[in-house]
Amino acid sequence: MTRLQFAASSALISLAMIGGHSFAAEPEALLVIKDHKFEPLEVKVPAGQRVRLIVHNQDATPEEFESHDLNREKVVPAGAKVTIYIGPLKPGRYGFYGEYHEASAKGAVVAE
Amino acid sequence: MFGVAIIVFRETLEAALFVGIIAAATRGLIGRSWYLTGGILAGVAGAFALASGAEHISALADGIGQDLVNAGILGVALTMLTWHCVWVSNNGQMAAADARALGTSLQDGQNRPWALMVVVAMSVLREGAETVLFVAGYAQGAGQTGMVAGAIFGALGGTAAGLLIYVGLSRVPVKKLFAVTNSLILLLAASIASQLARALSQAGLVNAWGQSLWDTSGWLRVDSPFGVVAHALAGYDPQPTGLQVAFYLLALFVMLSGSHWVQRAQTRARLDRVR
């Protein structure tokens, strides 16, 4: 590993650790992208607290997770697992979609 | 093919509008075409690099690597824009006033626009990476020729929008050009600040003010044509969080007051020299 790579990854890890220490164990929810569709179609999360949404793209092509209601937008490369923090949410339904395959990739986060 | 075109169009639109505004703002500067081209090429090269490293990056830092890189890119762009608005544009106006007084050419007095070129590169890099990822992914799946044609059409469409705004701004009389392009750049910077706020919330780095303050999608949807332009030019978001609004207003405040303060200091210095 070159010094630059080491410095860069140290910086990233430090930032992540700072971020990591700023919260206690918070609820996680898993969302899978398969065949350009989301599974499950409705993700249930607790209202009123921050939630760690893990999006796992099991397709061979990238997808972009996007939601106007949740105010989130993130590219998920093929085979990758990304972390998206959402909330705190008021109880309700928050739609999301896959921008690269909008016809089939649709779902919602239900906060209750 | 049409689906590909729409998506590529949307991705290139923001960068193209950006480049168009900055191209208009730097009209008349010697060699600025070289800087502009350099910025765009650097952005394109970076976009390919970012796209090819996307899988690796997204796994970094426990799944938020991409947000960290994004925040870095936005941070650099914001810093450069702030520097330009507060400092360089003032120097430009000052130098222009002096130059006119001395009878020398306008171009001799202005700084080289490298800060704006970095912003151009950052903007092209961000949107470009998403475009490359999408097109590369699509190429593995659907039919090849339809996809390539769609991607080209989409990119041309986005570029046309950038050219449109450049031509539109070129018709602004030179006296007003500074004010108009500075205002546009101000809005672009505030919009970037708002996106930075969102990236930080998304990555879980900031946990404050994360709730949406209002919802204006009943009045103007962000995926309507008007909404797309409003989003690209001024960062319109129908459901902004408190943090986004705070960053937006803070960026406006810092740049307006910083620019005003620098202008006053320079005017005082000029008057002191004359006395």
Tell me the chain B residues in contact with residue A57 when contact means C-beta distances shorter than 8 Å. none
For residues A43-53, average pLDDT: 93
The tokens for B254 are: 């810092």
pLDDT of residue A85: 95
Residue A112 predicted with pLDDT over 80: yes
Structural domain boundaries in chain A: 26-111
Instruction: Please check whether residue B147 is in contact with residue B131, taking contact to mean a CB–CB distance below 8 angstroms.
Output: no
Taking the C-alpha atoms of residue B267 and residue B199, their distance in angstroms, rounded to an integer, is 39
Taking the C-alpha atoms of residue A2 and residue B177, their distance in angstroms, rounded to an integer, is 47
Q: Give the count of domains, chain B.
A: 1
Taking the C-alpha atoms of residue B243 and residue B247, their distance in angstroms, rounded to an integer, is 6
B205 touches chain A (CB under 8 A): yes
The tokens for B204 are: 């879980």
Residue B240 predicted with pLDDT over 80: yes
Residue B23 predicted with pLDDT over 80: yes
| pLDDT band for position B181 (cuts 50, 70, 90) | confident
B14 touches chain A (CB under 8 A): no
Determine phi and psi for A102, rounding to 5 degrees.
Answer: -60, -30
pLDDT of residue B95: 52
Lowest-pLDDT range, A39-48, B142-151, B197-206?
A: B142-151
A61:B130 CB<8 A: no
CB pairs under 8 A between A and B: 109
Class of domain A26-111: mainly beta
Residue B187: domain span: 2-274
**For the CA atoms of B89, B94, B97, B100, what is the dihedral angle to 10 degrees?**
-90
Residue B41 predicted with pLDDT over 90: yes
Q: Is B107 exposed, middle or buried (0-12, 13-18, 19+ CB in 10 A)?
A: middle
Residue B1 predicted with pLDDT over 90: no
B130:A75 CB<8 A: yes
> 0.90 exceeded by the pTM?
no
| pLDDT band for position B103 (cuts 50, 70, 90) | very low
Q: What is the distance between the terminal CA atoms of chain B, rounded to a whole angstrom?
A: 68
B207:A79 CB<8 A: no
Instruction: Indicate the helix (H) or strand (E) that contains B172.
Output: none
Determine phi and psi for B235, rounding to 5 degrees.
Answer: 75, 30
Instruction: Indicate the helix (H) or strand (E) that contains A40.
Output: none
pLDDT of residue A46: 94
Place of tokens 């191209």: B23
Q: Please name the residues in contact with B157: beta carbons below 8 A apart, sequence gap of 6 or more.
A: B5, B9, B12, B13
Instruction: Please check whether residue B17 is in contact with residue B165, taking contact to mean a CB–CB distance below 8 angstroms.
Output: yes
